[in-house]
Amino acid sequence: MVLLVDDEDALLRTLSMNLRARGYDVTTAGDGEAALAELRAQVADVVILDLGLPGISGVEVLRQLRTWSSVPVIVLSARHGSNDKVEALDVGADDYVTKPFGIDELLARLRSAVRRAGAPEPQTVEAGDLRIDLPDKRVLRAGAEVRLTPTEWGLLAALVTRPGRLVPQRQLLQEVWGPVYETETNYLRVHMANLRRKLEADPSRPRHLITEPGMGYRFVPDH
């Protein structure tokens, strides 16, 4: 499903018609509040999001969305300044299209986002002296097996399958512990410290399990 978010009715109608004609299932929202409600109610495959929305801005919609979802987001904006583009990408946008745009360009970006979203997860990840076998749930460090608890494995897998990408704290808590634990950030600190002791050569200066203060964590194969 593609969620289109824009306050221009004519643009919503045109994009919806073009996407449906090409076989996409489309849902629309005219403002930020409606967009967030749609995203909580059903799973989208891709979001096409205007920045200049009434009420909650597109950037704020994206910021809130990234606390629980990694769905690909293509930002639309009439703003041509590089600062707006950088802000949207920093908050978590996957792509950026400036208005006015050609429908063929947007469709190409959409196809690319759909492919990335559906890309198979890696089977084995290597980082320095670490070898992480995802199907077998095994970790080798310098050839020796490292024993992880189920929680440590869940946390590691959530990061490894998104290499280089910031994974928000709330998203990790929901995925590993469940929705009722989404504010228990102390759980993350404790288990991340345990993972670093087991996997990093110098846990105080990690190369692969990186903290983004106040935001979340990322796995970096080479740092």
Return the pLDDT at 199. 97
DSSP class of 180: G
Query: pLDDT value at position 22?
Result: 84
Nearest to residue 211, comparing CAs of 184, 187, 189, 186?
189
Tell me, what's the pLDDT at 122?
A: 63
Separation CA 112–CA 46 (nearest Å): 10
Contacts of 166 (CB under 8 A, 6+ apart): 92, 212, 215, 216, 217, 218
pLDDT of residue 165: 78
Per residue of the chain (223 residues), give pLDDT as tens. Answer: 899 999 999 999 999 998 888 888 899 999 999 999 998 887 788 999 998 898 899 999 999 998 888 889 999 887 656 677 778 888 888 888 888 888 888 888 888 887 766 655 568 888 999 999 988 889 999 999 999 999 999 999 989 888 887 888 888 888 888 777 778 888 899 999 999 999 999 999 999 999 988 888 989 887 5
Q: What pLDDT was estimated at residue 144?
A: 95
What pLDDT shows up at residue 79?
A: 66
Cα four-point dihedral sign 192, 194, 195, 197: positive
Domain boundaries, the chain: 2-117, 124-219
Rounded Cα distance, 56 and 5, in Å: 12
pTM: 0.55
Q: Yes or no: say if 91 and 59 are a contact pair by the CB < 8 Å rule.
A: yes
pLDDT for residue 134 = 87
Could you tell me how far CA 219 lies from the centroid of its own chain?
Answer: 13
Which tokens in the block code for residue 23?
């076989």
Fold of 124-219: Arc Repressor Mutant, subunit A (1.10.10)
* DSSP 8-state symbol, 122: P
Q: How long a stretch of residues is the chain?
A: 223
The residues with which 216 forms a beta bridge, in sequence order, are 168, 212
Q: How far is CA 217 from CA 71, 127, 168, 192, 221, in A?
A: 17, 16, 7, 9, 13
The amino acid at 105: E
Spatial separation of the C-alpha atoms in residues 48 and 151, rounded to whole Å: 34
pLDDT at 120: 58
Tokens, residue 25: 């299932």
Those residues whose C-beta lies under 8 Å from the C-beta of residue 58, and which sit 6 or more positions away, are 5, 32, 49, 50, 51, 52, 75, 77, 88
Position 118 scores a pLDDT of 67
| Matching CATH number, 2-117, of 3.40.50.1820, 3.40.50.2300, 3.40.718.10, 3.60.10.10 | 3.40.50.2300
The C-alpha atoms of residue 110 and residue 35 are separated, in whole angstroms, by: 18
